[in-house]
Chains A and B, each alone.
Chain A
Amino acid sequence: MTPVSENNDDIGGSGYSLEDLSAYLDRGRIPRIPAVERNAECQAILASMERMGRLSREIVEEQATEPLSESWYDSIMREVMREFRAGRDIPLARADDGTELVVTEGALYELIRAVGDGIDGLLVGRVRLDQPEPDAPLDVRVSVSVRFGRAMNIAVDEMRNGIRAAIERHGDLRVGRVDVTVGDVHLDEGEHS
């Protein structure tokens, strides 16, 4: 694998692109690439790819349907990559003695996506985090797709409550608004409306 040089596809300053990471994962992460294995953003992207792969396999196994479409997979992975480029650090807890404890915005995006992955019949599309002022609660906006036949209000409530609980477990982090929008309905047959 030849690392990309200066281009916009570079992930976390690693020198590798999304396509490079996909090929690396397909090869079983052998031979080991330290620049990827020691890079938080690359690790998060690889974890997302693994989750998406598992999700696709589960859908095929449980419902005997087509795997998730490649274009849908690509669009989600591009979205995940964009989220991890949002490099703002958010204070986790107050500390004296010159200690700063922070969490990256990217870590919170990953956390929110993981909440969605755990909810039956729900696929996470776009995630947005907003903190109007420093120390203000975090506002979250998420667009999701709900499987046809699944009660939307229940899925949305699970997502909303799950996001709040998952974020507020960590230090001083507090959540303000959580807006969950159902932007799509997907069918059992693996087709996306």
Chain B
Amino acid sequence: MTTISAAELAPRIDLAVTAVEGVRECYSARPVMARAVEHLTDVEGSLADVDDAAGTRAVTVCIGVSSEDDAAVVAAAVATAARGAGEDDIPSSVRVRVARLIAPRS
């Protein structure tokens, strides 16, 4: 089994999520403290949050979807893409948070 670290996986997930049809925007899903550190150190880390603990992996991504698309369909496609971004067998849970339903510009 090939294992890939959380730090390696997160940017791959970012790329995979961005490519999903219907995803209008991607936001940081990382905890507030992690974002604060990035801000203070002027570093742009990955948007996806990947947390390895006790042999399992928890992935969280945060997206914006057009208000005219079914957010559940887009989020399901995002979850599939996030799972596909890793090439190992670590059991993982995936949480997709739709943080914005974006109105088309009039």
Known: A92-B75, A114-B103. A14 touches B39 (CB 8 A): yes
Contact A38 B72, beta carbon cutoff 8 Å: no
Chain B residue with minimal CB distance to A3? B39
Q: Is the CB of A107 within 8 A of B99?
A: yes
7 nearest A-B pairs in the assembled complex, by CB-CB distance: A171-B72, A40-B99, A13-B32, A114-B103, A98-B93, A93-B72, A40-B27
Complex-state Cα separation, A100 to B70, whole angstroms: 16
Q: Does the CB pair B72–A101 fall under 8 Å?
A: yes
B62 at the interface (CB under 8 A from A): yes
Q: What total of chain B residues lie within 8 Å of the partner, measured CB to CB?
A: 35
- Tell whether A111 pairs with B101 under 8 Å between CB atoms, given A40-B64, A93-B75: yes
> A43 interface residue, CB < 8 Å from B?
yes
A64 at the interface (CB under 8 A from B): no
Q: Let me know if A89 is at the binding interface, CB within 8 A.
A: yes
Category for how many chain A residues contact B: 35 or more
B96 touches A107 (CB 8 A): no
Q: Give chain A residues whose Cβ lies under 8 Å from the Cβ of B100.
A: 40, 43-44, 47, 106-107, 110
Q: A102 to B106, alpha carbons, bound, how many Å?
A: 27
In the complex, chain A residues 14-71 whose Cβ is within 8 Å of any chain B Cβ: 14-15, 34-35, 38-41, 43-44, 47
Contact partner of B101 (CB less than 8 A), chosen from A38, A100, A101, A107, is A107
- By the criterion CB–CB under 8 Å, are A15 and B36 in contact? yes
Contact check, B72 vs A98: say whether CB atoms are below 8 A apart. no
Which of A44, A103, A118 meets B71, CB within 8 Å?
A: A103
B79 to chain A, nearest CB (A): 5
Given contacts A39-B27, A117-B103, A118-B106, contact A170 B32 (CB under 8 A): no
Could you tell me the distance in whole angstroms from the C-beta of B92 to the nearest C-beta in chain A? 7
- Min CB gap B8→A, angstroms: 20
Separation of A136 and B106 alpha carbons in the complex (Å): 33
Give the one of A47, A101, A166 with max B CB within 10 A: A101
6 more A-B residue pairs beyond the given contacts A13-B35, A171-B70, with a C-beta to C-beta distance below 8 A: A44-B99, A103-B98, A103-B101, A111-B103, A170-B71, A171-B73
Minimum C-beta distance from A112 to chain B (A): 10
Which residues of chain B are within 8 angstroms of A40 by Cβ–Cβ distance? 25, 27-28, 62, 64, 99-100
Report yes or no: A170 in contact with B101, Cβ–Cβ below 8 A: yes
A154 cross-chain contacts in B, Cβ below 8 A: none
Q: Judge whether A95 is part of the interface by a CB distance below 8 angstroms.
A: yes
- Given known A14-B39, A39-B28, contact A98–B94 (CB-CB < 8 A): yes
- Residues on A with C-beta less than 8 A from B44 are 34, 38
Q: B74: shortest Cβ distance to chain A, in Å? A: 9
Question: Of all chain A residues, which has the CB nearest B34?
Answer: A13
B38 at the interface (CB under 8 A from A): yes
Chain A residues positioned under 8 Å from B101 (CB to CB): 103, 107-108, 110-111, 114, 170
